[in-house]
Amino acid sequence: MDIYQFEYVMAIAEEKSISKAAKKLYITQPSLSQYIMRLENNLGVKLFDRSARSMILTYAGEIYVQTAKNILNLNTGMKRKLSDIAGSKKGRLAMGVPHQTGRHILPLVLPEFHIQYPEIEIVVKEDVTMRLEEMLLSGKIDIAILNLPMQNEKILYKTIFTERMFLVAPKNHWICDSQMFLGYDCKIDFNLLKDEPFILLEQGQRMRLLMDEIFKKANFKPNVLMEIKNLDTAYCIAAAGMGFTFVPENVVQLLNVGQYNNFLIDNITLTLVVAYRRGEYITKATNDFIDITKDIMSLKQRERIYSSIAYRRIYI
């Protein structure tokens, strides 16, 4: 029994096609077909149901694939432990990150990590949170930079930092008129906006869950003008005058915009973590990446708080 046969079967199970799996594995389709047929003959069971148009795992195949995943994870963990014992600074770190999070964190963190580990191959996968969690559980990535809460008990995490949340108002809206309030330190009741249009992220994104939680806490159903994928776009559309939206502090800082239409939301924060599979061996390089990320983001957050003017606030 060798590692390659596990990878072959898992590739076919994932692609549901011999030809697609062969292309992914860089081998010929006839060779892969013959390999699987010999394997099934040796095992005495069929791993795939070939009666359908696609290659579907049989019950025996499902057991085989799950066992193969466990064996491959054990093999990977063993190699990482031995590499750490040997003091090696070589290897590969595959990380997943949502598009927006990657934009404001990776340019700060990766250069510093590369200085300390120049021979570590860094692989970055960008996707929505739900798919990143699936990739993490299946072993396609080693870690993921995500926002809480986690949806699966098999995923553990280490907290990086907690950032503040902001309400973004249309620039021509009455709440942006500084003459309406006595100074920057005043508080505005969120319920005054219950009839206003809101621009929200699409369902299924972690930030959307937080947005929904804000409305639940305020005890009113939002007037949703539109749902989109990107936080930067939501910010710009809201600021241009079409409605309100919510963004974390990093978006406000990245866009380098004025403060008159940004309102700090009291008692609402977003916690960023580095997540990994339960039972996964965390290498020294990965632990150092987590520490570097935590140190850099904590420093940036302190700089933002100390250098910024006090924001007007929204209370819910």
pLDDT in tens, 85-100: 777 788 889 999 988 7
Which phi and psi (to 5°) does residue 138 adopt?
-85, -5
At residue 184, the pLDDT reads 46
Please, what is the end-to-end C-alpha distance for the chain in angstroms?
60
| pTM for the structure as a whole | 0.73
What is the structure's pLDDT at 164? Answer: 87
The whole-number pLDDT of residue 200 equals 94
Mean pLDDT by 10 residues, the chain (316 residues): 80 88 88 89 89 84 88 81 78 89 88 93 90 88 90 90 89 73 64 92 85 91 92 88 89 67 85 91 91 89 62 78
Q: What pLDDT does 76 receive? A: 81
**pLDDT, position 138:** 84
Asked if 285 contacts 89 with a C-beta cutoff of 8 angstroms, the reply is yes
pLDDT of residue 306: 56
Q: Count CB-CB contacts under 10 A for residue 182.
A: 8
- 250-285 in b/e form (b: 16+ CB < 10 A) is bbbbebebeeebbbbbeebebebbbbbbeebbbbeb
